[in-house]
Amino acid sequence: MYLELEQQLSRHVREFIKRQYELDLDRLVVDQPPNVGLGEFALPLSFELAKKLRKPPRKIAEEIVAGLGAVPGFEKFEVAGAGYINARVDRAAAARMLLKPSAMKAAPAKAEKILVEHTSINPNKAAHIGHLRNSILGDTFVRLLRSSGAHVDIQNYIDNTGVQVADVVVGVLYLEKKDKSFIEELIMNSTAAQPFDYYCWDLYARVSQWYEESKDNLKLRLQTLHDIEQGGNEAAAMGKLIATAVIRRHLETMQRLDIQYDFLPQESEILHLHFWDLAFEQMKQKGVLYFETEGKNKGCWVMKRAGTKPAEVTEEVPAGPDEDAKVIVRSNNTVTYVGKDIAYHLWKFGLLGKDFGYRKFYLYPDGHQVWISAESGDADHPHFGGVRAIYNVIDSRQADPQNNVIEAIRGLGYTEQAENYHHFSYEMVALTPRCAMDLGYNVSEEDQKRSYIEVSGRKGFGVKADDLLDSLIGAAQKEVDSRHPEMPESERRDTATQIAIGALRYFMLKFTKGTVIAFDLKDALSFEGETGPYAQYAIVRATNIFRKAGLSAEEILSGETDLRFLNEDPELWEIWLRAGQLSHIVRQCIATTEPAYAAKYAFQLAQQFNNFYHRHHILTETDEARKRFLLVTAAVVRRVLMQCLDLMGIAAPNVM
RNA sequence: GCACCCGUAGUUCAGUGGAUCAGAACGCUCGCCUCCGAAGCGAGAGGUCGCAGGUUCGAGUCCUGCCGGGUGCGCCA
């Protein structure tokens, strides 16, 4: 509702400014006044116009108000302060927009596809809290996009040929001194108590330690990596076995959080299907890549590094080799990671001229199918890639390589694609030294002085995703058990799970992307204050009112309601106004790739509702018209809050 | 050395194209369950928005410099 009114107002004001002053405003700032008593929207444009028109702001504001005329949905406009224009909406008309069942229904699906890539955990160990931030941000962003009508494919990129997987193979071969059948047995016997990815987590940490003991150990690593790349041997078979089993575990972990995928492209196929060869041809043809004949990169194919300018050429300093260039093909003819990534991204935009094979990989309980890349796939399969826009949810440390890929795509002349390539960048999750020690890790004296310590699979340093979830469910279960001893066990379990997921997802979303989350176990386990359960609880309270009254929260919205109360109590109107802002918030989240706004909004709306709940005792209200209005208010907030939580992948429990 | 991010209450963090912006949660102190569930509500204490300049009618927000913290910068993946 809020968004529509804002657009309506913006359009009318622009048209008026164009008519009256012959000025085209490329943007119009629409603020909110400090309190609703002054109106719902505030326009500071007079201040900007003051210079151009050489008139005092207040005078301009008066002219605009006088000449603007009637705007549908608005009651009146006033000049305030030194030149603000405050707009008051027709409250009853706005409220009716909110009562319509279509208030938040998505726009019709657009034909163009958008690709969101997230999670992308190396398939050699269990997922940890850092990965959770990635997956939750990515999944929430997908939900936001889909709610606004976008057709989104979700990809989880699998780097299954790197050293990380090789390291676990090395561990099995040289530390455990075991073979492929040992791995097969482990995978087969993987249980909730002894999950295979946990085994890998520990072994990976041991191997990393072991490498530091001797140079010979590092040689075995190189040999194993080479074997895996070659293929057709025991090490390669073991690597594939391990990676596939760990991927399956990751899918299971994420499934607990209601996170699903459509397609898992693997690096092994990018290599074996020779994606690079096609990209290489394109890049040579367009001159993005050139062969360096001198300097430190002699014998390599290189490209200009993103964000750099060519060195100045003067008579004294003749043009030399660009020592800062990014090497794409090494002098031994092997391609670097960025090179492979360029090829992969050309595929994403449908610019490579080649496709993966597709094979079924995993079926969710709800019937949704995950596909995985294959050299030769199933005959019947959906098609991925060839999208208009992409969002890569990758932490901020990958900014440089990401920019190099964008630079290459731009260099190839795909300007539009380069513009629609979004690195959805976020900061990492780190442990405070305090937290790390509480968790029982040995923290060196040097690390103790740091403000935070990076979570590291290599060091085995970090909180595993499944462990954290288990702790959260356990804590929630204790609360539920004590509050609802009469409920059946399975129902208590389900409720506790919903609360735990709500707490975890909200925790990862409430920080803005650019903030390093200094992980605090106590905060993460909290169900009070600015948390998911706080918002869930507001919904439960609303639900209880309707249960007690024997009414349906949805049905009550369709009847006749006296909306004059909106004009009597500004605090009641404020709740309605806030409830009407969801579509505005969604749009803002998408435009800025910042889901934290949705989290903040949900909390504020819940806070306002709890306040409302405390001030008005609805069921004992004697004035029937007023009682009905208060019930409708509760129903509206409940519906919007549920929609908002759903966008964040947080369920609304029936009781808690 | 270069590039990017961060610096706001005791703590963890919001503050979205400048104004009406000194905010929330946690923690602390004090109140509120005979009343739709207290995972809640209310009140209080607590901050020269890292420092110094600049732009402006106006700067937590923009620009420059400095200080402090973090990350990245290989023919590694």
> Could you give the CA distance from residue A127 to residue A200 in angstroms, rounded to a whole number?
11
Q: For strand B, is any atom closer than 7 Å to the CB of A415?
A: no
For the segment A156-177, the average pLDDT, to the nearest whole number, is 94
pLDDT of residue A444: 82
Q: For strand B, is any atom closer than 7 Å to the CB of A290?
A: no
pLDDT of residue A440: 83
Span A589-626, pLDDT tens digits: 999 999 999 999 999 999 999 999 999 999 999 999 99
Measured between alpha carbons, how far is residue A413 from residues A101, A113, A174, A286, A407 in Å?
Answer: 46, 21, 49, 8, 10
Count of beta carbons in the 10 Å neighbourhood of residue A107: 10
Put the strands of the sheet holding A429-431 in their side by side order: A453-454, A429-431, A517-519
> Could you give the CA distance from residue A649 to residue A11 in angstroms, rounded to a whole number?
34
Distance of A33 CA from B58 C1′ (whole Å): 17
Q: Is the pLDDT of residue A279 over 90?
A: yes
Q: For strand B, is any atom closer than 7 Å to the CB of A397?
A: yes
* CATH fold group of domain A2-89: Gyrase A; domain 2 (3.30.1360)
Q: Is the pLDDT of residue A454 over 90?
A: no
What pLDDT band is residue A452 in, cutting at 50, 70 and 90?
Answer: confident
Measured between alpha carbons, how far is residue A192 from residues A229, A466, A647 in Å?
Answer: 32, 10, 29
Q: For strand B, is any atom closer than 7 Å to the CB of A548?
A: yes
Distance of A565 CA from B30 C1′ (whole Å): 35
> Could you give the CA distance from residue A608 to residue A579 in angstroms, rounded to a whole number?
10
Q: For strand B, is any atom closer than 7 Å to the CB of A13?
A: no
Q: Are strands A74-80 and A84-89 parallel, antiparallel or unpaired?
A: antiparallel
Span A99-157, pLDDT tens digits: 987 644 555 566 789 999 999 999 999 999 999 999 999 999 999 999 999 999 999 99
- Nucleotide B26: closest residue by CA–C1': A529
pLDDT of residue A291: 94
Q: Provide the residue count of chain A.
A: 656
For the segment A192-198, the average pLDDT, to the nearest whole number, is 92
pLDDT of residue A314: 56
> Could you give the CA distance from residue A76 to residue A93 in angstroms, rounded to a whole number?
14
Neighbour-count burial of A555, counting CB atoms closer than 10 A to its CB (0-12 exposed, 13-18 middle, 19+ buried): exposed
Q: Transcribe A483-511 into DSSP letters.
A: H-TTS-HHHHHHHHHHHHHHHHHHHHHSS
Q: Which nucleotides of B are covered by protein (CB under 7 A)?
A: 3-6, 12-21, 24-27, 35-42, 57-58, 69-77
pLDDT of residue A165: 94
pLDDT of residue A318: 56
> Could you give the CA distance from residue A493 to residue A514 in angstroms, rounded to a whole number?
35
pLDDT of residue A607: 96
For the segment A224-247, the average pLDDT, to the nearest whole number, is 92
A141 touches A593 (CB < 8 A): yes
> In the Cβ-directed half-sphere of A349, how many Cα atoms lie within 13 Å?
26
Alpha helices in A325-464 (DSSP H): 337-348, 399-411, 415-419, 433-438, 445-448
> Could you give the CA distance from residue A140 to residue A153 in angstroms, rounded to a whole number?
13
A80 touches A33 (CB < 8 A): yes
For the segment A203-227, the average pLDDT, to the nearest whole number, is 91
Q: Transcribe A559-608 into DSSP letters.
A: S---TTHHHH-HHHHHHHHHHTTHHHHHHHHHHTT-THHHHHHHHHHHHH
Q: One fold for both A2-89 and A116-273+356-393?
A: no
Rg of chain A (C-alpha set): 29
Question: Domain A116-273+356-393, CATH 3.30.420.10 — does that match?
Answer: no
What whole-number percentage of chain A has pLDDT above 90?
A: 73
Torsion of CA A516, A520, A524, A528, to 10 degrees: -110
pLDDT of residue A317: 54
For the segment A23-32, the average pLDDT, to the nearest whole number, is 80
Question: Closest Cα partner for A518 from A575, A440, A594, A463?
Answer: A463
> Could you give the CA distance from residue A516 to residue A279 in angstroms, rounded to a whole number?
36
Q: Both tokens of residue A572?
A: 């009641």
pLDDT of residue A395: 95
pLDDT of residue A46: 87
Would you call A479 helix, strand, or coil by DSSP? helix
Count of beta carbons in the 10 Å neighbourhood of residue A147: 20
pLDDT of residue A235: 93
> Could you give the CA distance from residue A522 to residue A507 in angstroms, rounded to a whole number?
11
> Could you give the CA distance from residue A623 to residue A629 in angstroms, rounded to a whole number?
10
Distance of A521 CA from B68 C1′ (whole Å): 27
Distance of A69 CA from B10 C1′ (whole Å): 54
Q: Is the alpha carbon torsion for A217, A219, A221, A224 positive or negative?
A: negative
> Could you give the CA distance from residue A370 to residue A348 in angstroms, rounded to a whole number?
17
Q: For strand B, is any atom closer than 7 Å to the CB of A81?
A: yes
The CATH number for A528-647, chosen from 1.10.730.10, 3.40.30.10, 3.40.50.300, 3.40.50.620, is 1.10.730.10
Span A526-573, pLDDT tens digits: 999 999 999 999 999 999 999 999 999 989 998 889 999 998 888 899
Distance of A511 CA from B55 C1′ (whole Å): 32
A526 touches A503 (CB < 8 A): yes
Q: Are strands A151-155 and A113-117 parallel, antiparallel or unpaired?
A: parallel
pLDDT of residue A100: 85
- pTM, two decimal places: 0.96
Backbone angles phi, psi at A422, to 5 degrees: -110, 115
pLDDT of residue A319: 64
Distance of A31 CA from B55 C1′ (whole Å): 24
For chain A, the structural domain boundaries read 2-89, 116-273+356-393, 284-329, 430-523, 528-647
For the segment A205-218, the average pLDDT, to the nearest whole number, is 91
Q: Is the pLDDT of residue A353 over 80?
A: yes
pLDDT of residue A311: 58
Most confident of A91-105, A293-307, A360-374: A360-374
What pLDDT band is residue A54 in, cutting at 50, 70 and 90?
Answer: confident
Most confident of A120-124, A189-193, A226-230: A120-124
Q: Is the alpha carbon torsion for A16, A22, A24, A25 positive or negative?
A: negative
Q: Is the pLDDT of residue A172 over 60?
A: yes
For the segment A462-472, the average pLDDT, to the nearest whole number, is 95
Q: Both tokens of residue A201?
A: 């987590």
> Could you give the CA distance from residue A372 to residue A357 in angstroms, rounded to a whole number?
8
What whole-number percentage of chain A has pLDDT above 70?
A: 97
Backbone angles phi, psi at A233, to 5 degrees: -140, 175
